[in-house]
Amino acid sequence: MEAKATQALLNELLETLKDGEKGYSTATTDVEDQDLKDIFKKYAVQRDGYLTELEDQMHRLNLKAEEESSITGTVHRAFINLKAAITSKSRESILNECERGEDYAVKAYQTALKAENLPGQLKTIIEKQYQGIMEAHNTIRGLRDAAAGK
More reliable by pLDDT, 104 or 75: 104
CB-based contact 64:7 (threshold 8 Å): yes
* pTM attached to this predicted model: 0.87
- Give yes or no for residue 70 having a pLDDT over 90: no
What pLDDT was estimated at residue 71? 45
pLDDT tens digits for range 88-118: 667 888 898 889 889 999 999 999 999 988 8
Select from 76, 62, 53, 74 the least CA-distant residue to 133: 53
What pLDDT was estimated at residue 58? 92
pLDDT tens digits for range 112-142: 999 988 887 999 999 999 999 999 999 999 9
CB-based contact 27:94 (threshold 8 Å): yes
pLDDT tens digits for range 20-61: 998 898 888 878 899 999 999 999 999 999 999 999 999 999
